[in-house]
A and B are shown apart, each in its own frame.
Chain A
Amino acid sequence: MSLTLTAMSDSAVTSGQQQWSGSGPPPRPSRGPYISAITNRTTNLGIRGAMLFSVGVFLALVLNLLQVQRNVTLFPPDVISSIFSSAWWVPPCCGTASAIIGLLYPCIDSRLGEPHKFKREWSSVMRCVAVFVGINHASAKVDFANNVQLSLTLAALSIGLWWTFDRSRSGFGLGVSIALLATLATQLLVYNGVFHYQGLQYTSPDFLYIRSWLPCIFFAGVITMGNIGRQLALYEYKFIQEKTHQD
């Protein structure tokens, strides 16, 4: 999915570059605006952020749909509206959060001076995303005996995700703290009645159910987005380096 996104943005920019260079003589023929744009640190940050944002929005929509299915019988009255059944600001919020997290992880890595080297390749990132979607799937589709069981299972799965794909202390700390913060924020919103989850008025069992999986899902999401962010950052470094070689 991120491959597709990358491809889309990449080719879009490429075609833009072509048009641009066709319209007028470029001031520096040796490199197009794409190269100079991507090597610019802020632009590069922006591109990364935008990618992460779109990934976050997409995942939020898809995973929301998974959760919606749990409450719907066979015939959803309208599919399109069920995609956007939650409040309109939820996907952008998720996107922003994932962009921030995805940028924060490589930043913290470089600050701590311990670059993340564990399984730094796209296949591993894809695996991580798949497992994350799987955790969501399990939380939505599998019937658990009680909420404690659900919580424990999801927690074990999330820790497993971290151990399989991250294994860095900074990642764990950041994941736990962000998950706790996000859960707290959601709970506050719910208590104040601002945000009815997925637009449904819920009864207290629903509420408990949501509360039991929310932190684990948040944690797994943070780990996943961090993984993607790190991979993207690695790729940007390479680009910067290549540019300096070409100069």
Chain B
Amino acid sequence: MTLREQLREKISAAFYRHGLLCASYPVPIILFTSASILTCCYPLLRLPLPGTGPVEFTTGVRDYSVPSHEPQGDLGERPDWYRGPPVAYIQQVLVKAAVSPWDSSLVTVDVFRSPLSRAFSLLEEIRNHVHSDSSGIRSLETLCLQVTGLFPGLRRMQSVLPEHGCLLVSPGNYWQNQRELFDSDPDLLKTIQKHEPKGLHTSATLRDLLFGVPGKYTGVSHYNRKRVVTYTITLVLSSYDARFLGSLRARLKQLHPSANCSLRDDHMVHVHFKEEIGIAELIPLVTTYIILFAYIYFSTRKIDMVKSKWGLALAAVVTVLSSLLMSVGLCTLFGLTPTLNGGEIFPYLVVVIGLENVLVLTKSVVSTPVDLEVKLRIAQGLSNESWSIMKNMATELCIILIGYFTLVPAIQEFCLFAVVGLVSDFFLQMFFFTTVLSIDIRRMELADLNRRLPAEAGLPPPKPGPLRPREVPPPPRPSPHTITLQTPAFRNLRLPKRLRVVYFLARTRLAQRIIMVGTVIWIGILVYTDPAGIRTYLAAQVSEQSPLGDPGGGGLPPHLGVAPVFRGGDPTSTLSIHPAPDPTPLPENQSQGHHGSARAGPLPQAPPAVPQITWGAEDEEGWRRLSFRHWPSLFSYYNITLAKRYISILPVIPVTVHVSPQEAIETRHPQDTRHPPPPIPKVSADLQTDLTLYKVAALGLAAGVLLVLLLFCLYRVLCPRNYGQNGVAHGRRRRGDLPCDDYGYSPPVSEISPLLLRGHSMDIECLASDGMLLASCCLAGQIRVWDAQTERHNIDFVGGATEPECLGSEARGPSVSGDGLSEEEDSYPLRHRTAPARPTLFTDQPDLTPLIDTNFTSQPPSHLSTPPREGFDFGGLVERAYIEHEPPSNSTYPSPSSASSSPPSGATADWESSVWAMELRGNLIAAGRSSGKLELWDAVEGSLRCSNEDGVSGITALAFLNNRIVAARLNGSLDFFTVEINKPLCLLQYRGAPGRGSMPPSPCYSSEDVISCQLTRSVQCAHQKPITVLRAAAGRVVTGSQDHTVRIYRLEDSCCLFTLQGHSGGITAIYIDQTMVLASGGQDGAICLWDVLTGSRVSHVYGHRGDVTSLVCTTSCVISSGLDDLICIWDRSTGIKLYSIQQEVGCGASLGVISESLLVTGGQGCVSFWDLNFGDLLQTVYLGQSSDGQGVRQLLVLDNAAIVCDFGSELSLVYVPSVLEKLD
């Protein structure tokens, strides 16, 4: 035993034990697994949630220092992106300006014209601020972010945004930062509005950028009732200098003190931006996800034969997903932070880890014998697949290891994830999925049990009385061994894809659901991302709620509410107002020392009527109200990306400006007064912005409805209206033999039950049928003839009148037959139900009865024993008869019937030799014996009609066609016999009826005929070696021999037409039918198709390892089975293998074709029905109680779609009702 095998055994044993464990304690194991999953996923909580929104981190201003690039030991709550210097520092100067006191002589333009004009002086102040100390002189120019040029595509922004130099943004940019342009601008609002993009926009607008506060809060409009204008001057700094900024802050506060401002200025916020996903990146991502879902769909579709397909599919997906999560969690736990984009690599990880193992496990478990205990099934299934699972896993690990040595960091990281994912996937498969599978299998068995119970419960009173009315359909025969099987392996061969798609859509209502979900998501995205959308609206609502919310109440707008309480908490902001900026830059010490310039404002504190400038908490971080794309879009105009980087936002510098009415009037443009104050409309400014919201909502809704309608139309066009019922073809198939089980069309499964015909004492050797009678011969040399194959005799059959006529040397007791019959009685009603009606033809039947009676009268009474349990009478139409024919050789008295029918003198049966071949035509049974003797028996009476002992070599095969018998012998010779009938005229008149009624096409031999069998020709050396196969059809006799050749003879003149050479092994199987198709299979595993007319080889294919054991053709395909337990289906015209079916080991080699699309194969104690179109196993019918039993070696398909096969010493008759239905 090699090491490999030892290993294999050990692995198998370990898996077996593990399977037992899992199936024994499902609940603890599932709990344990869930706990471990949760534990492993726990580190994931620390990871940021995926999303494109920015992430913030706040630090104090005082001890701020630029974070180093190196990760430090005490990470603490510091996010990992907080490393290195930020892209920029943002310093906002938040200006709130108002004309105060408000004068009724002022016009609406005055609300914002003069406050805006203050921006220019402020700008001047900021630009010129210089801070000098020991380390040198610093001005804004040295600190600010120098930009070099606008993004090429932004020509229209050129006039507004600074093109080079400091990135300093303020409303003054609208007028190129020149006061003169501002002053000469007749219509400020028009200028501002000019740059607004048309239509809906989702990112930051220019107005937001320049004003630095959302447009709604600026107050620059005609409807500003509060008369406070808010804007910011935004400085973008490339480096941080606390002293310069401190002096600037102090300077501005000094110039424009904010009296009631209590804004905190000790925190700076670092904002980290994620990578934005554009459509260009989204499309490949979406594609990979679509492929992933297709993969998952196609994989989980193969799960079959379980109680809950969807449950197991879900379990499989959960297994894979949680193993991924576990891998990420574990990697995070051990300090490996994922740098890859999780969303991008996720589909590839799933594909690498794969669902294959899960499917293999399922398949292996469900293919274990169903009668085993669940535990054992799980254990067996696991151990069967253990080797391949371990091998696959080792291979995958090897591949990933190779990937690890590519030394590319990204690939290495991927591989690391994949390795951990694979291992955790294995763990989950073993513990989680196996347990779920065991639960599922157990549930299935319970369900089976429940389904079966009623049937068995109805059984115990099988015979309520002898006169049970026929109309009552009794419960179906208990079929503990009839199960419906479907192999998962051929699931993909099943329906055409078109139907599958249609069914899938129909079953899941997929299209409708996708449309619904898509619409909801789309509208959600629309609403969420739009700056005028619900998010900002909600934020505004929240901020409005806080102070005082009575919008309709007074003249004060609800926006900032009335909070005129001067908080006065800030000691630095108690100074009075500076009316005008100081144009001269102040030196550093001045900026600190001058707490209050000498020039006091011309205006004292405003009277209560003046517009109140209040500072609230929402001003502290006013940038939060901006769109989260505000900063990225500002930087992107200068081709600077913020993706995966961060900016630091410094605390705002509050500036309060009060403008006197005089100044406001002075700064007026001449045209301002010319405009009459526009009538204040009923709607307020807030309402106007609300209108935008409503517009968006209405548009979104309309577009959504349109989309739904469009998709619905598309759906109606693309999908057929009535699923699956278009076209005759589908309907036919559905009603017929193809059960489309998982699409809701359940097949008539439980109707197939085998009927056992008992009577033989030993194994059945030969089977022959001519469509009406069935003859069987066992190893003991006993031939039994069974009737009722044809539909017309069905009632016979049903009534238990399967007539076993024993022609044999050993007198079998009638009780044996009686047992078989009583067994059949039980099944009678089923028969009756499946083929109801038609008692008309039984007028023929009474003819038979007197005949048999006469025979019985001439026999000893002991043989006439009527079966004791003949508990039925069906109006005397049907009678059971036994003919015990004692052959002359070992019977003390000669058979009167055979004597009276004047058999040929030499016709003594040979009981020493066994019957090797048997054929049945009409009433005649031709039996070839090992002694070389050919015997002709009367099938009805059981009398030996003639025998021929011309040959001495054993007859290996027989063909009986018309009135000729061809016998192939062991020595390779071929004998042609002619059967001659001499009908005595006197007997013909009253013997005509049964023969005439039974079977017109085949020659009928009555018992009184004198039959002689003469050797017409003997081909001595037909083959060099024993003839193995002999078939006759369409006037041709085809022989196959072990000498690798096939010969074709003409039946009439026994002339050899062709010798076909092409096989490299002995011929083992031949098929020929009326259409002159000849197929042959040999020991070399090859299958040849021949043209019988020309003798040429049409095709030659290799399909089997080992002998071809059986061959059958339909009009379109050739079906072969081989010693390798493989059934191959070949296209007849092209010789291309369509597919093959791997059967269990040791299954029989017998094949039969019931209809064009129904194949039946014999197995170990069972027969299986296959759908030829798709290679699906439709049903397996177990023949007996013990499935261990004998294999079905021979299988005959009768005309009425019944199947007869041998089953040890019994014959089994399986009736296929669904096919009958189709034939109707």
Instruction: State the A residues within 8 Å of B (CB).
Output: 1-4, 6-8, 10-15, 17-18, 21, 29-32, 34-35, 62-63, 65-66, 68-69, 72-77, 79, 82-83, 110, 115, 121-123, 125-127, 129-131, 133-134, 137-138, 141-145, 149, 152-153, 156, 160, 235, 237-242, 244-246
Contact = CB atoms under 8 A, between A and B. Distances in A.
Interface residues of B, number: 72
Contacts of A65: 280, 283-284
Contacts of B280: 65, 68-69, 72, 76, 79, 82-83
A141 B406 contact: no
Nearest to A77: B153
A14 B498 contact: yes
A115 B1137 contact: yes
A149 B295 CA distance: 30
Contacts of A143: 408, 410
B354 to A, nearest CB: 7
Contacts of A238: 493, 496, 1138-1139, 1173-1174
A130 B295 contact: yes
A244 B1116 contact: yes
B295 A69 contact: no
B351 A130 contact: yes
A4 B727 CA distance: 23
A117 B959 CA distance: 40
B281 interface: yes
Interface in B671-720: 717-720
Given A18-B720, A75-B636, A130-B288, A30 B1115 contact: no
A1 B287 contact: yes
B727 A17 contact: yes
B493 A73 contact: no
Interface string B284-310: 100110111011011101100000000
A10 B501 contact: yes
A126 B298 contact: yes
B348 A137 contact: yes
Interface in B632-668: 632, 636, 639, 641, 643
B496 A239 contact: yes
Contacts of A142: 408, 410-411
Nearest to B1136: A110
A29 to B, nearest CB: 6
B896 interface: no
B407 interface: yes
Contact of B291 (A32, A126, A144): A126
Interface string B488-524: 0000110011100110010000000000000000000
Given A62-B287, A130-B347, A242-B496, A156 B402 contact: yes
Given A74-B643, A149-B408, A241-B1116, A133 B287 contact: yes
A161 to B, nearest CB: 11
A171 B294 CA distance: 24
Given A17-B726, A29-B728, A137-B344, A66 B284 contact: yes
B1117 interface: yes
B1136 to A, nearest CB: 6
A243 B1080 CA distance: 26
Given A14-B726, A238-B493, A241-B1117, A4 B411 contact: no
B351 A74 contact: no
A14 B502 contact: yes
B399 interface: yes
A12 B726 CA distance: 13
B278 interface: yes
Given A1-B290, A18-B721, 18 more contacts: A7-B505, A10-B498, A14-B502, A17-B727, A31-B728, A31-B729, A63-B284, A79-B278, A126-B295, A130-B288, A130-B295, A130-B348, A133-B284, A133-B287, A152-B406, A239-B496, A242-B1173, A246-B732
18 contacts: A6-B498, A7-B501, A18-B721, A72-B280, A73-B639, A79-B278, A115-B1136, A122-B492, A123-B295, A123-B301, A127-B351, A130-B348, A133-B288, A141-B344, A142-B411, A145-B407, A238-B496, A238-B1174
Contacts of A82: 280
Nearest to B1171: A245
A35 B729 contact: yes
A197 B844 CA distance: 89
A82 B479 CA distance: 67
**Dominant secondary structure at the A interface:** helix
A14 B715 CA distance: 13
A137 B380 CA distance: 42
B278 A244 contact: no
B154 to A, nearest CB: 10
B283 A30 contact: no
B513 to A, nearest CB: 15
Contacts of A69: 280-281
Contacts of A127: 295, 351, 354
Given A4-B290, A8-B718, A30-B728, A145 B408 contact: yes
B348 A245 contact: no
A245 B502 contact: no
A66 B299 CA distance: 27
A13 B406 CA distance: 48
A126 B289 CA distance: 11
Contacts of B402: 156
Contacts of B501: 3, 6-7, 10-11
B279 interface: yes
Given A74-B641, A115-B1136, A130 B292 contact: yes
Contact of B718 (A12, A30, A34): A12
A63 B288 CA distance: 11
Nearest to B275: A74
Contact of B1157 (A68, A239, A245): A245
A133 B292 CA distance: 11
A15 B717 contact: yes
B408 A121 contact: no
**Considering the complex of A and B, which 9 residue pairs feature the smallest CB-CB distances, nearest first?**
A123-B298, A126-B295, A10-B498, A244-B1116, A123-B299, A122-B298, A142-B410, A74-B641, A11-B718
A11 B721 CA distance: 11
A241 B294 contact: no
A31 to B, nearest CB: 6
Q: Tell me which of A7, A65, A130, A133 has the highest count of chain B C-beta atoms within 10 A of its own C-beta.
A: A130
Contact of B720 (A15, A66, A126, A137): A15
Given A12-B718, A237-B1131, A238-B1174, A74 B729 contact: no
B1173 A6 contact: no
Nearest to B722: A18
Contacts of B281: 69
B1156 interface: yes
B727 A35 contact: yes
Nearest to B356: A123
Nearest to A31: B729
Q: Tell me which of B278, B284, B1174 has the highest count of chain A C-beta atoms within 10 A of its own C-beta.
A: B284
Q: Tell me which of B281, B287, B407, B1115 has the highest count of chain A C-beta atoms within 10 A of its own C-beta.
A: B287
Contacts of B141: none
Contacts of B717: 12, 15
B408 A144 contact: yes
Contacts of B301: 123
B719 A11 contact: yes
B641 A31 contact: no
A32 B720 CA distance: 14
B729 A14 contact: no
Contact of A74 (B276, B283, B1174): B276
B295 A11 contact: no
B151 interface: yes
A121 B301 CA distance: 11
Given A134-B351, A241-B1116, A126 B294 contact: yes
B901 to A, nearest CB: 48
A115 B1128 CA distance: 13
A77 B153 CA distance: 7
A65 B281 CA distance: 8
Contacts of B1067: none
